[in-house]
Each structure stands twice: as C-alpha cells, then as structure tokens.
Chains A and B, each alone.
Chain A
Amino acid sequence: MSRPDRRVIAGVAGLGAVGILIGGAFAGLLGEAVNDWSGAVSAFDTYMLRVTRFTLWQAALSTLLSVVPALLVARALARHPHFAGRALILRLFALPLALPAIVAALGILALLGRAGLFADVLTAVTGTRWQGIYGLSGILVAHVFFNLPLATRLFLHALETVPTDQRRLAAQLGMGARASFRFVEWPVLRAALPGVAGLVFMLCVTSFTIVLTLGGGPRATTLEVAIYQALRFDFDPARAVALTGAQIVLTAIVVALLMRLGANMAGDANLPVASRAPAVAGRAERILNSTVMLVALLFVAGPLAAIVISGLQADLARLAADPAVHAATATSLVLALLAGLLCVLLSLSLTMARRAMELKRPRNAAPSLLERMLDTGAGFVLVVPPIVVGAGWFMLLRQTGQVFAIAPVMVVTVNAVMAMPFAIRALRPAYDAASARHEKLCASLGISGINRFRLVDWPSIRRPLCTALAFAMALSLGDLGVIALFGSDAVQTLPYLLLARMGSYRTADAAGLALFLGIICLMLMMLVDRTRSRT
C-alpha cells in the first residue's frame, strides 16, 4: 500500500487533541474520585432514572420539532434565492446561537409569558387566565428557537452543494416541486439529516438554564443539572463522572439509532412538503414557500424583537462609554476569534481525514471506527458539560499553581472544541462534494499537499469555511459554562458581564448588553457575508 495520507495524519492529530482535552478532564476528576467512590454508586436511584427519562424525552421532542420544520424552511430558502427577506432571515438565524440562554428565555417570555404580549389573546382563546408557557411546552419553544435556525442553516448548506447542472437538468426535464424534491433535494438532505438531528439532540440533552427556568420546577430536570449540582454544591467528582458517563452512553445510543433511522428512510422517503401544484410550479409553491419562510422568520424574530425593545430601554450611551464594557467586548472578541480559528482548523483536519479514509476504503465496505470517530466522534464533546471539563483540568493542574493563568487557554480550547460539531456540519458537505469532483483530476495531475489545498480545495470550501468560523465565533461569544469554576476575573467576557449586572439588580444594563451582543453577532455575520461574496 502507499504511504499514509497526510490528510489522515492531520485528522488523527486533530482528533487526538480533542481526546486529550476530554481525557485530561476525566483523568483529573477520576484522580479526585478514587478517594471516595460512593457517589458514583448512589448516583443511579429512581429519581435519577426519572430525570434521565425526562432528559431524553424533551430532547427527542425538541429535535423533532426543530429538524422537520427546518427541512421545509431550508428547502424554501434554497428554491427562492431572490426572496426579499432571505438575507435578513439568514443573518437573524445566526443570532440565537450567540445569546445566553436566560436572555433568550426572557425574550420568549416577553411574548408568551404570563405577562407576555400575547397573554390577553391566549387568555381569551383558552378561556382561563393564561399562566405563561412554563412546562414542557416552554422548554420545547425555547429549544426550537435555538435549534430551528441552526438546523435550517446547516440544511441550506447541504442544499447549496447541489450542482447547478442538476438543478438545470431538473428544470429542463420539467420536474415540479415534488419531483425535484424527491430526486434532487431529498438525497442531499437525507445525507445531512442524521448529523444535524444528532447535533440538535445533543444540544437539547445538555440544556440547563432553559429547562430549569421554563420547565416550571424540578419536575423538569436534566442530567446536566444533576452533574452541575454534583460538582458545585456537593463537590462529588465520582458522582459527576458517573452521571457524565451515563449522559455520553445514552446520547451515543440515540445518535446510533438516528444514523440507522436515517438509512432506513432512504428507501422511500417522501415528506409531504411539496405542493400538489402541477410541474409548472408557479404560484402555489411560491405562496407555500413564502408562508413557510415568513412563519419561521416571525418565530425567530419575535423574541429577538422583544430583546431589542428591552435593550433600547437601557441607558445605552452610558453603557457604550463604560470601560468595563469595552474591556469585556475586546476580551469576548479576541477569545471568540481565537476559538473560532482553532475550531475551523481542527474541524477541517477532521473533515479532510474522513474523506480521505472514505476514498481509500473499498466501495460498500463499512467505515472503520476511526472514520466514524472523525465524523461523529468529535460531536460527543457536546455532551460533556463544560463545567466537567473545567473542573477536571483544574484538578489536574492545581499542583502547578498556575490555574489562574490557564483560564483563558481553557476558555479558548473548550469553546473551539465545543463549536467543532457545528463547523464540521458546515464544512463537510462542501468538502466532500468538491473532493468528489476533483479527486481524480488531482491524482492524475499529481497535485497534492499545500498546493492542492490552495488551488483546488480552497476555492470551493472558502464560503463554508467562513460560515463555520462565524458559527464558532458566535457560539464562543455567548458561552459561559467553562468559566463557572475558574477564577472569573481572569476572563471577563460580555455575557459574563451581562449576568453579573443581572445578578446585582442592574436588569436594564443586562438588557442593553444583550442588545450589544446581538449587534456584534449580526456585524460578524455581515462581515462573513461580505468576504463570501467577494469570492
């Protein structure tokens, strides 16, 4: 056989780095846990079983409600590239990612809460005093608010890999909405579906603030809450390790099932989405798609508008002149940029390695474990709570006495790794499609290594790469979890400042900072769009 592919080596190195981050954290916790294992044994009682059941149930429902509509919205967006509000929708859809959960929750409650904008209407409709959207429905609405936009953007990326030729051919063959969905769009969406659904599922499994705040009480509790409690209040590393282990195993089972379901659907999958309009595909489809896009836009823009309105009531001029805000904004941007770059680098190495391995294996052979790891393995970092990573490394490094100094490094690395699953979803369809087109050509021309990357791969992955970077940056902007146990003054980010203000009666300041955070994120997206269009 030939010498090992350099792409595979790079990918394995990337995967190794992720492994060290997670493994190190577990090593740190286990080192502490050997003193007392009782917490791990007693972790699984009937109460915890109930918590586990609820965790999986709400995550499954949230995934279903986010992903299925996202398929429709993404398809509508793909079929109407000249729709008036399209650019606005895409930019707004990047915002929820950057918002701290409590800000989003307050935005949703401003509409659907007990004192929300629609409370009177809902009281009239239901006939009883509207008690606010607390309980499972509140959790679901918030999760869909976060994940529908994410899934839509990822599906749209998959759809954008459909070659123009195919679309033209479909048009020439007179394919209507239904036929072109079935033969052109669905195969691409189906390939992306298990990955996107898995990602959304993992995000919902680990939900914390949303579940507690909107869930209405401890009836709605996730494993993540129990892990947090074990580490922070009970200081029981053994219990935290046991619960995190359970969370990873359960999620792995669900994701494996999802992959299987995705494959089974392949036979005859035809979602009842396309209009029954004749192949001429005129008005009916346009109206349907416009409605889909508009509804999605309103759903996401509603809470965002509430956040903007409450933000405008803050003393924005004073906030804008506040040196603490300047410092926090700078810290946030620098950390987010570093995390974003690291994330894109790692994700690209994994994506390229996976593709290289896929090319090497015989057709129809099952992918090896390493190949699977390169694809979905990295995704599992999402179900390792940031507080576990933080605490584990803290314990590992405390002997060095340099725990304070490494806090920023931790924040960057953990954010980068946590954003990888998103970046990989954005990168992979484009890279794989480009590779399918160019692989033989490169081989016959003998182009490889950096030249190949520069001349062949770069032009086709440049756009998704920018998107991945923006995604990763937006995610890191809104992150809070990693610093929960670390010295916090070392890393004063914008969301951190926001929560600090909120925690000391300065609610208006917090609302103003949420607005700042949103604006920064929006500017980031516009910047990315500009670099993209300059291609």
Chain B
Amino acid sequence: MRDKFVSLFAFSLAFAAIPAAAQEKLTVYTYDSFTSSWGPGPAIEKAFEAECGCELEFVAVADGVALLNRLKLEGAGTQADIVLGLDTNLTYEAKETGLFAPHGISLDKVDVPGGWDDDTFVPFDYGYFAFVYDSEAIDTPPASLKELVEGDPEEKIVIQDPRTSTPGLGLLLWVKAVYGDEAAQAWEKLSQRILTVTPGWSEAYGLFTNGEASMVLSYTTSPAYHEIAEDSDRYKAASFEEGHYLQVEVAAATVKGADNPLTPRFLEFMTGPGFQDVIPETNWMFPAGETSGPLNPVFDTLVQPAQTLEFSSEEVARNRQEWVNEWLGVMSR
C-alpha cells in the first residue's frame, strides 16, 4: 500500500515536471511570409532565444485571416501562446471570440500613427496602402484618390478582391473613408480604369511588374524594397491628398498563453529594438516600436501621408459584409 502511494507520488511529481519544462518554450502562430528565410522570423527567433534562454517556436499559417480561423478552429485547446500577424480589421472579431487575454505590458515604446491604447492587442508594425506606379510608363501620377477615380480610363490599374485579399479590403475601406455615401458612384467610375481584380496581392503585383498595368494597389513601402534589394527606383508610390488608409499589424496573447511567463516577456521584447530593427527590411513595413538606430534613409524618401485614414475595428466588423456587397453590386454590373 505504501509502495503504491510512493510510486503514485513519484509519478505525479514526474508529471508535474513536464509542464514546468514546457514553460521554457513559447509557441507563436504567425503568417508564413514572417517565418520565411527572407522574413523577420529567423533573426527575431535568434535574438529572443539569446535573451530569454528559452525556446521560441514559430508556427506558420497562410496569412492573417487564416490565422484567426485557425485559432477559432482550435479554440481553447490551441497550442499557441501568442498569435502574431492579425491586422486592425480583424481585432474586433478576434476579441469577440474570447480566446485572447489582456497583455498586461507597458505600451510606452509603442509608436503608431494616431496613438495606441488597447489592453489586448500590441502593434508590431504598420504600413499605408498606396498605388504604386511604374515611372517609366507614367509621368504625372494622380495626386489624389479623386484624380485616380476620374483619371484617364485608358491608363489601367490592377486591384485585389476585397472578398479574398487584405489590401483589397483596405482599398474598399479607403474609398469608403474618402467618399462615404458616394462610394458606389466612385467605384462605378473607377471600374473603367480597372484592368482586372485579382484574388491576392501576388497576382496583382505580378501583373504590374510584367507591364500589364501601370499602377497597382500595394503599400507606400513597396518602393523601398525595389530600391534597397534591387537598387531600382523605377517603381514609386503615388501620394494622395486625402490621405492614405492605415494598416496596423498586431500580436496578442491567447488565454492559454496567459499562463506562460514567457508570453509577456515576448510581447515586451516585441516593442523593442531586438524585434523592431529587423522589421523594416524584412517585412517591408514601418516599425511600431523602438529601434536602436535610424532606418535606412530610403524609408525617409517614401510617401508621408498627409492624413491617416482609419475605421475602428468595430466599424469594420459591423459593416464589412454590407460594404463588400455594395462593391460587388457596382463591380458586377
């Protein structure tokens, strides 16, 4: 009897030891371009592991939308401590799931346009949507969204479908933010300039660099890639008077991850130089926290939006379906 008790005791001790060891590991779900060999993942993993003496594991899922779906599917049983790579259009919906926990860290180092104040989500980078044009095909790019909408229908643009793509949804919101109730009429006009609407960013950008269209919906940071990685200043972003729509990418702790002491440590680390230094030239977005030095000067030459356009996450969640349907109605005429 006593033997049995002892072995039971030893057994439960051994069992208890396993979760203790597992605490030395942090699992982060993110999108796949983040973990690719040219993405920020590898450098960040190295930097954080050196600092914490623990193991950081990235698990890649296709993109931000897939990331949230994945978490909804796995529910409370998820292996993720942190989900990294949602954007502000998804945060309301994400919070509603009840699967995320408050971050509990100081946001002093966080720096995004319009400021940041959220108890669950912590930003790690941001960017602005913009139309990127081929300077060999266009001399005077449109100076405003209005000029784009009313410009020469012979000069074609490529955009993405808001039903399947994040930039596509971004443009939809951009037009809505500028035109409000007259968005439908604007789309009707703009549709004459649209060569085609692709399912994702890759297809659209591929068509653009192949010369099919002289303008494409992308980010203000796209020209930085071409300048730094390819040493080419052929592709530039057009600056729009009305301002540019903002995309902020965020991370958050899951309810499961809230128990892991490494979770707040990583979120804290995320807002500092060990993480932020890598972002500009791997993720091609602006850092949302402290960097150890100034960015590559090329980033200073990029379009600086006169105004930041943004809907709250809740507004997007409530209206997305209706706005997409409005877009569909106009575009499928």
A209 within 8 A of B: yes
Most buried by A among B75, B212, B321, B327: B212
Q: Distance (Å) between the CB of A424 and the closest chain B CB?
A: 30
Q: Are A218 and B197 in contact (CB under 8 A)?
A: yes
- Once the chains are docked, how many angstroms separate the CA of A17 from the CA of B209? 45
Contact of A503 with B199 in the complex, beta carbons under 8 Å: no
Contact B164 A505 (CB under 8 A): no
Which residue of chain A lies nearest to B32 when distances are taken between CB atoms in the complex? A488
Please, how many angstroms separate the alpha-carbon atoms of A240 and B329 in the complex? 21
Q: Does B200 contact A (CB under 8 A)?
A: yes
Q: Which residues of A contact B161 (CB under 8 A)?
A: 212, 218
Asked whether any CB of chain A lies closer than 8 Å to the CB of B135, the reply is: no
Is the Cβ of A394 less than 8 Å from the Cβ of B196? Answer: no
- Known contacts A398-B73, A502-B206; decide if A216 and B59 are in contact (CB<8 Å): no
In angstroms, Cα B61 to Cα A521, docked, is 28
Asked whether any CB of chain A lies closer than 8 Å to the CB of B12, the reply is: no
Please determine whether A132 and B212 come into contact, CB atoms closer than 8 angstroms. Answer: yes
B328 nearest CB neighbor, chain A only: A218
Known pairs A114-B156, A484-B62, A489-B35; A394 contacts B206 (CB<8 A) = no
Given A113-B210, A229-B164: A235 touches B72 (CB 8 Å cut-off): yes
- B163 within 8 Å of A (CB atoms): yes
Taking the complex as formed, is B74 at the interface, i.e. its CB lies under 8 A from any CB of chain A?
A: yes
- Select one of A132, A235, A487, A504 contacting B60, CB under 8 A: A487
With contacts A394-B73, A399-B77, A489-B60 taken as known, whether A504 is within 8 angstroms of B39 at the C-beta atoms is: yes
Q: Is there an interface contact between B213 and A114, defined as CB atoms closer than 8 Å? A: yes
Q: Would you call B23 an interface residue if the criterion is a C-beta within 8 Å of the partner chain's C-beta atoms?
A: no
By a CB distance below 8 angstroms, the chain B residues around A118 are: none
Decide if B195 touches A132 in the complex (CB within 8 Å).
yes
Q: Which of A115, A215, A229, A507 contacts B163 (CB 8 A)?
A: A229
**B275 lies within 8 A of chain A by Cβ:** no
Chain A's closest residue to B222 (CB) is A505
Partner of A217, one of B70, B212, B321, B332: B332
B202: Cβ under 8 A from any A Cβ = yes
Q: Decide yes or no whether B203 CB sits under 8 A from chain A.
A: yes
Interface size class of A (residues with CB under 8 A): 35 or more
- Decide yes or no whether A106 CB sits under 8 A from chain B: yes
Asked if A67 CB lies within 8 Å of chain B CBs, one says: no
For A50, the chain B residues whose CB sits under 8 A away are 332
- Smallest CB–CB gap between B168 and chain A, Å? 10
Q: Is A475 at the interface (CB under 8 A from chain B)? A: no
Contact B331 A219 (CB under 8 A): yes
Residue of A nearest to B198 (CB): A213
* Residue from A115, A489, A507 in contact with B59 in the complex, judged by beta carbons closer than 8 Å: A489
How far is A320 from B70 in the complex, measured between Cα atoms in Å?
A: 34
User: Once the chains bind, are B332 and A219 in contact (CB under 8 Å)?
Assistant: yes
Rounded to whole angstroms, the CA-CA distance of A92 and B273 in the bound complex is 52
B195 with A216: CB separation less than 8 A = yes
Q: What residues on B are CB-neighbors of A404 within 8 Å?
A: 59
With a cutoff of 8 Å between Cβ atoms, the chain B residues found around residue A109 in the complex are: 207, 210, 212
User: Are B59 and A487 in contact (CB-based, < 8 A)?
Assistant: yes
Within the complex, the shortest CB–CB distance from B322 to chain A, in Å, comes to 13
CA A102 – CA B203 in complex, angstroms?
A: 7
A281 to chain B, nearest CB (A): 46
CB distance from B209 to the nearest CB of A (A): 5
The verdict on A324 contacting B37 (CB below 8 Å), with A102-B202, A109-B207, A114-B213 known, is: yes
- Tell yes or no: B229 within 8 A of A by CB: yes
Chain A residues, CB < 8 A from B113: none
In whole angstroms, how far apart are the Cα atoms of A499 and B207 in the complex?
14
Bound-state CA distance A507–B321 (Å) is 33
Question: A: which residues have CB within 8 A of B?
Answer: 47, 50, 102, 105-106, 109-110, 113-115, 129, 131-132, 134, 208-209, 212-219, 221, 225, 228-229, 231-235, 324, 394-395, 398-399, 401, 403-404, 484-485, 487-489, 499-500, 502-507, 510
Q: A216-B196, A488-B32 are in contact. List 16 more A-B contacts (CB 8 A).
A: A47-B332, A131-B156, A209-B203, A213-B203, A213-B207, A216-B195, A217-B332, A219-B333, A228-B164, A232-B66, A233-B65, A235-B69, A235-B72, A399-B77, A504-B38, A505-B284
* 18 CB < 8 A contacts A-B: A102-B203, A106-B210, A114-B213, A115-B211, A131-B195, A212-B198, A213-B199, A217-B194, A218-B161, A218-B332, A225-B199, A394-B73, A484-B66, A485-B66, A487-B60, A487-B61, A500-B36, A507-B205
